[in-house]
Amino acid sequence: MCGIVGYTGKRQAQAVLYDCLCRLEYRGYDSCGIAVNTPEVQVFKDAGKVRNILQNAPRFEGTAGLGHTRWATCGEPTRINAHPHIDCTGKISLVHNGVINNYAQLRKRLEANGHKVVSDTDTELIAHLIEEYDKGNLEEAVRQAVKEIDGSYALVVMRSGDNTLVAVRKDSPLVIGVGDSEYLVASDVPAILGYTNRVIYPEEGDIAVISPDSLKINRNGEYIIPRVEKINWTPDEAQKGGYSHYMLKEIHEQPQVIQNTLINMPLTESFYKSPLLEQGRKTGILFLACGSSYHAALTGRYLVEEHLNIPVRLEVASEFNYMQHLPPCKLAVVLSQSGETADILRAMRRLKQAGCMIVAITNVAGSTAARLADHVIYTQAGPEIGVAATKSFIAQLVVLYALCFACASAASPRYQDYLSTMRLLPGAVQKILGSHQNIKDAAIEVAKAKSAFFIGRGINYPIALEGALKLKEISYIHAEGYAAGELKHGPFALLSPETPVLALVSRDQTYEAMLTGLREIKVRRAPLIVIGEDGDDQLEQLADRVIKIPPFNRLFSPILFSVVLQLLAFYAAYELGRDIDTPRNLAKSVTVE
């Protein structure tokens, strides 16, 4: 989950590295560093965030270098453990994203061979491995070194006195930016958008040899001509645009995201009459996801089972990977915002080996998940910099709704009406964004609590889970999401005047049961904040506070409720002075298992 960057070209590397690392900090922010070829390798690094550390770096003159912002996995966040790492000779420097599983064995062998390992990281061992194999050909030394590595890696390597970079990846993302007599290497596209929109996505095991005027990619022993793709994101999309935080900006971008996602959905008859749906009808559909994407997938399960009458098996990818026997499903739908989630990719490879057809729902063109899948649907959310998923989550919901209704439209014309109704969603979301003061006031109350419950029924149960996740990950308030009927099975013991309950109430088939539950909560004197439809007088009588959503087709209440809960989490975290865009211990893209 670390952020890596490399540069070689005509500019002063230090300024480019600093700029790119600032754009990559959402991938890790406990330590950082740079190495510049001057032509000796000069390294400056320390624990802390990019702006706090690298603004104080001495001036390094050189046009090639490496940079890194870390999310610690092996070794605590300290200056010694920060990247870049160098070998014993001081000639080889590198940055790394990933995890080395055979770290202990490699360290024992290297130290027995006389290497002095100074850090607690697994990454430093790779520098020593490359040094052992370096006979003057850095590409070959890297190739031999990675053969000994069991684990995941995206590596960028540099030797003193040479402006050539060598990059290689396995199970970790890497992108190469193509400029005018310059190249950039990074773990994510937003890092390089200010310099180029032309990119190359290396495949697994590719070794890229990059100099200011040339790029060679060795794939399976042969040099290939890589495909250059254009990114349609603009640099402005990856900036705050006048908002105080990326998260707030990205919440406010959601009306446009919904519209863009619907416009670009492949809602054609040929797509939905492909073997995809028939495969699902025969054996059911397997949904795989992690984190917020799992909550979107859980919403999708409700939709598919209710409206397509197809059984859905839903699994957390990190648990699925330890199941000894694969389910009999022949169609899998995987959700990953980044398309680089390590647990998702491992599951996809297992499923492909078993002959399963895979549909990927992701936000990143050219990502590993997109390349592994048989079919890809892009969510069109644009770059999401805030660590907490907001617009990417909403876009996933929109894709799942549209996918389900397009498939169902062959059986009933009402689903065409639903698809038309979806095009009105941006306006409804905009109304919520435009009248957020009540949400802000409720958030200030929630910020006083040490613990909170979120409850919902039916299709809104997954949104209760998502609301609780949002609150705890950016405000650090303990929160739990529950199916409303489950509160009586234990959690009622925790209700008190200090424990607010946030209830999602839709006027659907769950409405009366939700009202009954609200009355039971009030008897326990827990503060009750209800999110419900404007004009529902019964909610006003029961709740301590009502947050109103505009009247809309109740089938789409999860999308509207999600926006409210995102804002509530944001304002609670803001009230507490939290680091909202980069919450502690978290990073944007989970590329390690």
Q: What is the pLDDT of residues 386-431, one digit of tens each?
A: 999 999 999 999 999 999 998 888 778 888 899 899 999 999 999 9
Note whether 43 and 170 are same-domain residues. Answer: yes
What lies within 8 Å, CB to CB, of 44 at 6+ separation is: 33, 34, 54, 57, 58, 60
Q: What is the pLDDT of residue 40?
A: 92
Note whether 163 and 123 are same-domain residues. Answer: yes
What lies within 8 Å, CB to CB, of 424 at 6+ separation is: 552
Question: Does residue 565 carry a pLDDT above 70?
Answer: yes
Q: Please tell me the least confidently modeled range out of 9-23, 130-144, 267-281.
A: 267-281
Q: What is the pLDDT of residue 2?
A: 82
- CATH number of the domain residue 85 falls in: 3.60.20.10
* Residue listed under structure tokens 């490496």: 66
Q: 281: buried, middle or exposed (CB in 10 Å: 19+, 13-18, 0-12)?
A: middle
Rounded average pLDDT over 281-302:
94
Note whether 221 and 254 are same-domain residues. Answer: no
Q: Which helix (H) or strand (E) holds 224?
A: strand 222-224
Tokens describing residue 541: 């009588």
- For residues 239 and 432, which has the higher predicted lDDT (pLDDT)? 432
Peptide linkage before 58 cis (omega within 30 of 0): no
Residue 179's alpha-carbon distances to 206, 217, 237, in angstroms, are: 20, 16, 20
Q: What is the pLDDT of residue 224?
A: 92
Q: What is the pLDDT of residue 259?
A: 93
Question: Does residue 193 carry a pLDDT above 60?
Answer: yes
DSSP state of 237: G
Note whether 194 and 342 are same-domain residues. Answer: no
Q: What is the pLDDT of residue 258?
A: 95
Note whether 233 and 253 are same-domain residues. Answer: no
**Residues β-bridged to residue 45:** 33
Q: What is the pLDDT of residue 269?
A: 55
Note whether 462 and 498 are same-domain residues. Answer: yes
With b for 16 or more beta-carbon neighbours within 10 A and e for fewer, the 539-565 pattern comes to beebbebbbbbeebebbbbbbbbbbbb
Residue range of the domain that includes 509: 431-593
Start-to-end CA distance of the chain, whole Å, equals 10
Q: What is the pLDDT of residue 408?
A: 87
Q: What is the pLDDT of residue 275?
A: 59
Label residue 143 by pLDDT band (50, 70, 90): very high
Rounded average pLDDT over 547-570:
96
What lies within 8 Å, CB to CB, of 140 at 6+ separation is: 133
Angstrom distance (rounded) from CA 459 to CA 461: 6
Rounded average pLDDT over 187-211:
92
Note whether 26 and 51 are same-domain residues. Answer: yes
- CATH number of the domain residue 337 falls in: 3.40.50.10490
Note whether 225 and 244 are same-domain residues. Answer: no
Question: Does residue 267 carry a pLDDT above 70?
Answer: no
Label residue 276 by pLDDT band (50, 70, 90): low
Amino acid 22 reads C
What lies within 8 Å, CB to CB, of 205 at 6+ separation is: 168, 169, 170, 219, 220
Rounded average pLDDT over 152-171:
93
Label residue 172 by pLDDT band (50, 70, 90): confident
Positive or negative: CA dihedral 576, 581, 587, 590: positive
Percentage of residues of the chain with pLDDT beyond 70: 96
Question: Does residue 24 carry a pLDDT above 90?
Answer: no
Rounded average pLDDT over 370-385:
91
Tell me the catalytic residues: 2, 588
Label residue 591 by pLDDT band (50, 70, 90): low
439 close to 564: Cβ distance less than 8 angstroms: yes
Of the candidates 395, 423, 451, which is a domain's last residue?
Answer: 423
Note whether 233 and 272 are same-domain residues. Answer: no
Q: What is the pLDDT of residue 589?
A: 67
Q: Please tell me the least confidently modeled range out of 133-137, 321-325, 356-360, 392-396.
A: 321-325
Tokens describing residue 538: 């019964």
Mean pLDDT of the chain: 91
Sheet holding 478-483, edge to edge: 478-483, 451-456, 501-504, 528-533, 545-549
What lies within 8 Å, CB to CB, of 476 at 6+ separation is: 573, 576, 578, 583, 584
User: 414-422 vs 391-408: helix axis angle to the nearest 10?
Assistant: 160
CA angle 312, 367, 299 (to 5 degrees): 25
Instruction: Give the pTM.
Output: 0.83
Note whether 355 and 374 are same-domain residues. Answer: yes
Q: Please tell me the least confidently modeled range out of 17-21, 72-76, 394-398.
A: 72-76
Note whether 390 and 511 are same-domain residues. Answer: no
Sheet holding 198-200, edge to edge: 41-47, 31-37, 64-70, 3-8, 183-186, 175-178, 198-200, 229-230
Domain count, the chain: 3
90 close to 25: Cβ distance less than 8 angstroms: no
Positive or negative: CA dihedral 578, 579, 584, 589: positive
Digit-coded pLDDT (tens) for 27-63: 777 899 999 999 999 999 999 888 888 888 999 999 9
Of the candidates 189, 210, 237, which is a domain's last residue?
Answer: 237
Q: Which helix (H) or strand (E) holds 479?
A: strand 478-483
Of the candidates 175, 210, 237, which is a domain's last residue?
Answer: 237
173 close to 165: Cβ distance less than 8 angstroms: no
What lies within 8 Å, CB to CB, of 586 at 6+ separation is: 387, 473
Question: Does residue 280 carry a pLDDT above 80?
Answer: no
Q: What is the pLDDT of residue 1?
A: 67
Note whether 473 and 564 are same-domain residues. Answer: yes
Question: Does residue 493 carry a pLDDT above 60?
Answer: yes
Question: Does residue 542 carry a pLDDT above 80?
Answer: yes
Question: Does residue 445 carry a pLDDT above 60?
Answer: yes
